[in-house]
Structure 1
Amino acid sequence: MDYDLIVIGSGPGGYVAAIRASQLGLKTAIVEKESLGGICLNWGCIPTKALLKSAQVFEYINHAADYGLKVSGGEVDFESVIKRSRGVADGMSKGVQFLMKKNKIEVLMGTGKLKSKGTVQVTGADGATKDYTAKHIILATGGRSRELPNIKQDGVKVIGYRQAMNLPKQPKSMIVVGSGAIGIEFAYFYNALGTKVTVVEFMDNVVPLEDEEVSKALNRILKKQGIDIMTSSNVESVDSTGDTCKVKVKTAASVVDLEAEIVLSAVGISTNLEGIGLEENGVKTDKGKVVVDDFYRTNVEGVYAIGDIVKGQALAHVASAEGIICVEKIAGQNPEPLNYNNIPGCTYCSPEIASVGYTEKAAKEAGYDIKVGKFPYSASGKASAAGAKDGFVKVIFDAKYGEFLGAHMIGFNVTELIAEVVTARKLETTGHEIIKSVHPHPTMSEAVMEAAAEAYGECIHL
């Protein structure tokens, strides 16, 4: 065997798995067809946050008077905003290159395919192929922008997330189809820079996977920011043959004609399962996902799968956790299976959204008798000082045992607060233990303690 382990795909699942494998003494190689770090580092999580920071800074400039400051002459240099984002992504990708060298992981550039049990075929950019052998092979090929038949992407006027972060010029108008994390983040970014944005969402609420109170709060805030929101609406057709895109949207009441320079399709992702040797080698799939057990073993011995192509949330931190669990099991350790009900979800619009565990509705449907506490940012001293009074922290506990069932947050910096709840739930912390854990003042994090206290009728500042 050439290697103990070959990983196909170097996204946050693949490269993390490779590093952990190397740490555990496995001779490891990783296959990547484009850029180390995959979509997340190059075209997803990282560059989008750089774009969002530029939008946030521009908003600060425009609202400097709210902080007692006089600033004039602020304007958007769209090309420079995009250039900064690409620079951040390139720097992160180079960081992964360094980590590969540091951990003595061989990088095989090209398109990887499971040729047979224990063999990976790598096709280079020049079309030449070479076979490599390994006792263990992890498939971590990720996903891409999902394309609907009625919203055909041409990459120019009808685009996916990848083109949305690299447009040659700022559009005057944009229709965003889908209001999950990707759609909402881009809607916020472009609206903040001055593009007229309309969001079309099929479900009844924006960010439909979130707690209903969070969804409704975000809806109000986005409308206040100037974004048009159309919920319970479906895009029937897109005509991009003219200078602009003409979009027919079916609402509950009628069919509405919209027009915009750009249509961004943000209706989820499709898994990259094609051409990686699954069918030829009898690897089982179901509904576009590779079937795996709790340790990411497929039905074929020595073949594993992690990340977007398997069960669970299609999130970078989920893929990383899966990769670590997978290789620790391969190396003979005894890792604990991942608890998919304790995975934090974050949306980086402004205000941010963060959540983990049961929503209030899901907790009730699961049969829990619950205690719910909510603390508004308007009552937080730190939030008032920061000029960020929109939002709240909502926590849900089991009334009988005090189990921390879930938390749902909307507000400034809440994506940094949610880890406290994830850790608390992992440690089976109760509501009273949160209340009695002294939180520093003044901080946004106090809102978690205050919300817990409110659930038990002990809140001081409400």
Structure 2
Amino acid sequence: MSRSFDVVVIGAGPGGYVAAIRAAQLGLKVAIVEREHLGGICLNWGCIPTKALLRSAEVYHLMHRAKDFGLKADAIGYDLDAVVKRSRGVAKQLNSGVGHLLKKNKVETIMGEAAIPAKGKVAVKTDKGSEELAAKAIIVATGARARELPGLEADGDLVWTYKHALVPPRMPKKLLVIGSGAIGIEFASFFNTLGADTTVVEVMDRILPVEDAEISAFAKKVFEKQGMKILEKATVKKLDRAKGKVTAHVERAGKTETMEFDTVISAVGIVGNTEGLGLEALGVKIDRTHVVTDEYCRTGVEGIYAIGDIAGAPWLAHKASHEGVMVAELIAGRHVHPIKPGSIAGCTYCHPQVASVGMTEAKAKEAGHSVKVGRFPFIGNGKAIALGEPEGLVKTVFDAKTGELLGAHMIGAEVTELIQGYVVGRALETTEEDLMHTVFPHPTLSEMMHESVLDAYGRAIHF
């Protein structure tokens, strides 16, 4: 006889485990099925361990700048195995924390492979055998995996995905990174800081292509100053593998050239984990490996919801978690508000950091807005100079008629923390007047946010 639940969640990543906990908090009987790691890719093989690696690289970078701060640091070096060990330890600690939270909230955790044979049914294969769960509602939160292009497949030796790059078998000497989205640029930044001769190839006309063009251009300039080689409007057509080396055939402007590397990281997007679930047989629509949903994450098949990466862009952990809460509350009969993708911040933890929310200047104009744009450079901010981080820019985009904050875009130290101020502003439908009248503490990096707003209206004080 099958066990019955109000909600069964498939996948315990940042969308799934949050959905399960919130549903349990609302008094529902909940089970969660996970085939590999509690916390999902983000916690175990993505957001968290990469930040731990990047923190090590940041400290290493600062050690080399000790003299700038009146300090002495001799014989500076690193132990890659120890750097990776710390990163894995951070992930393990948080993985255990998720298990504790699920248990605390009385969520039944089942480690196994799930499928949906019929509406209201979840079949689970575990090490101990198989069982079927009955569920009034099913939340699919199975996430995504790295996309692999023909001829560029990872082998774990010469060609890596993000998983291989998180536990590198060696330190690359000459590294090629294919793709300059957040994942590609973060690994390029990490290995370049530790001394790898790094080349980034991007098929679009600029790196970090989802960011504002001005931010992308700023980032390219800084990365090249750090020693990276950036190839835009370029495509890696194939990789020839030999012992200890890879020859990449790179096409640019109609010409193909060959380049030799000892390591390649492929970061060319993701593919939704839809296989083996039985979704299409139930009538769930899948478009290019992602489940099609409405604004409330409903699939169109009664009782089946999809959240997080499997439900499409933006592919961000915080978006998945928020969707998880929304769906849990919807199932519990609460009144909910759909998530607005344009109000979700994107953060890239390279050096310098990049963060943004809302429309780029170009997108705002395409949408028919007459805009006012403000900018403020880090070099004009006392705290940035005191920190020794004078390279950066804060850019704000407003609707010229209404004063609505359409978008904000930043590059520089700690901008992944600063961006939330503008996210809150957009959520509260803040206008330029509200932001101008807000008192920002001094000395802080956040003062640049104020100055950028003032600059949009010709009122900047320190620039």
TM-score w.r.t. the length of structure 2 is: 0.98
Contact kept, 8 Å, 2:375 with 2:395, in 1: the verdict is: yes
One-letter identity of the residue aligned with 1:141: T
Matches within 5 A, 1:16-31: 16-31=18-33
Matches within 5 A, 1:18-417: 18-125=20-127, 128-252=129-253, 254-417=255-418
Report the 3-state secondary structure (helix = DSSP H, G, I; strand = E; otherwise coil) of the residue aligned with 1:249: strand
Report the 3-state secondary structure (helix = DSSP H, G, I; strand = E; otherwise coil) of the residue aligned with 2:281: coil
Report the 3-state secondary structure (helix = DSSP H, G, I; strand = E; otherwise coil) of the residue aligned with 1:361: helix
One-letter identity of the residue aligned with 1:319: A
Q: C-alpha displacement at 1:309, in angstroms? A: 1.1
The whole-number CA distance in structure 2 between the counterparts of 1:336 and 1:26 is: 20
Q: C-alpha displacement at 1:311, in angstroms? A: 3.3
Provide Cα deviations, 1:254-301, integer angstroms capped at 9, x if missing partner.
212111111100011110011111123222222322121222121221
> Quick check: 369-378 or 281-290, which moved more?
281-290
Provide Cα deviations, 1:28-48, integer angstroms capped at 9, x if missing partner.
010011110000000000000
The whole-number CA distance in structure 2 between the counterparts of 1:213 and 1:194 is: 27
The residue number in structure 1 matching 2:443 is: 442
> Quick check: 272-281 or 226-235, which moved more?
272-281
Contact kept, 8 Å, 2:175 with 2:264, in 1: the verdict is: yes
Matches within 5 A, 1:420-431: 420-431=421-432
> Quick check: 342-351 or 250-259, which moved more?
250-259
Provide Cα deviations, 1:283-334, integer angstroms capped at 9, x if missing partner.
2222322121222121221111111111330110111111111111110001
One-letter identity of the residue aligned with 2:461: I
The whole-number CA distance in structure 2 between the counterparts of 1:383 and 1:125 is: 54
One-letter identity of the residue aligned with 1:435: M
The whole-number CA distance in structure 1 between the counterparts of 2:312 and 2:54 is: 29
Contact kept, 8 Å, 2:118 with 2:282, in 1: the verdict is: yes
The residue number in structure 1 matching 2:458 is: 457
Contact kept, 8 Å, 2:354 with 2:415, in 1: the verdict is: yes
The whole-number CA distance in structure 1 between the counterparts of 2:254 and 2:113 is: 48
The whole-number CA distance in structure 2 between the counterparts of 1:224 and 1:253 is: 27
Report the 3-state secondary structure (helix = DSSP H, G, I; strand = E; otherwise coil) of the residue aligned with 1:2: strand
Q: C-alpha displacement at 1:442, in angstroms? A: 0.5
The whole-number CA distance in structure 2 between the counterparts of 1:106 and 1:241 is: 49
TM-score w.r.t. the length of structure 1 is: 0.98
Q: Is 1:10 matched up with 2:42?
A: no
The whole-number CA distance in structure 1 between the counterparts of 2:353 and 2:254 is: 31
Contact kept, 8 Å, 1:308 with 1:314, in 2: the verdict is: yes
One-letter identity of the residue aligned with 1:218: A
Q: C-alpha displacement at 1:253, in angstroms? A: 5.5
Contact kept, 8 Å, 2:158 with 2:244, in 1: the verdict is: no
Report the 3-state secondary structure (helix = DSSP H, G, I; strand = E; otherwise coil) of the residue aligned with 1:240: strand
One-letter identity of the residue aligned with 2:72: K
Provide Cα deviations, 1:206-263, integer angstroms capped at 9, x if missing partner.
0011000000000000001011111110001001233211111001162121111111
| Gap regions ≥5 residues in structure 2 | none
Report the 3-state secondary structure (helix = DSSP H, G, I; strand = E; otherwise coil) of the residue aligned with 1:322: helix
One-letter identity of the residue aligned with 1:386: L
Contact kept, 8 Å, 2:176 with 2:198, in 1: the verdict is: yes
Q: C-alpha displacement at 1:107, in angstroms? A: 0.5
The whole-number CA distance in structure 2 between the counterparts of 1:281 and 1:454 is: 54
The whole-number CA distance in structure 1 between the counterparts of 2:212 and 2:151 is: 29
Contact kept, 8 Å, 1:150 with 1:235, in 2: the verdict is: no
| Gap regions ≥5 residues in structure 1 | none
The whole-number CA distance in structure 2 between the counterparts of 1:66 and 1:115 is: 63
Q: C-alpha displacement at 1:132, in angstroms? A: 1.2
The whole-number CA distance in structure 2 between the counterparts of 1:70 and 1:89 is: 32
> Quick check: 175-184 or 110-119, which moved more?
110-119
| Root mean square deviation, CA, Å | 1.0
The whole-number CA distance in structure 1 between the counterparts of 2:287 and 2:231 is: 33
The whole-number CA distance in structure 2 between the counterparts of 1:266 and 1:311 is: 17
One-letter identity of the residue aligned with 1:334: H
The whole-number CA distance in structure 1 between the counterparts of 2:369 and 2:299 is: 35
Contact kept, 8 Å, 2:16 with 2:141, in 1: the verdict is: yes
Q: Percent identity?
A: 52
Report the 3-state secondary structure (helix = DSSP H, G, I; strand = E; otherwise coil) of the residue aligned with 1:280: helix
> Quick check: 232-241 or 38-47, which moved more?
232-241
Q: C-alpha displacement at 1:153, in angstroms? A: 1.5
Q: C-alpha displacement at 1:155, in angstroms? A: 2.2
One-letter identity of the residue aligned with 1:133: A
Contact kept, 8 Å, 2:66 with 2:72, in 1: the verdict is: yes
One-letter identity of the residue aligned with 2:185: I
The whole-number CA distance in structure 2 between the counterparts of 1:30 and 1:268 is: 27
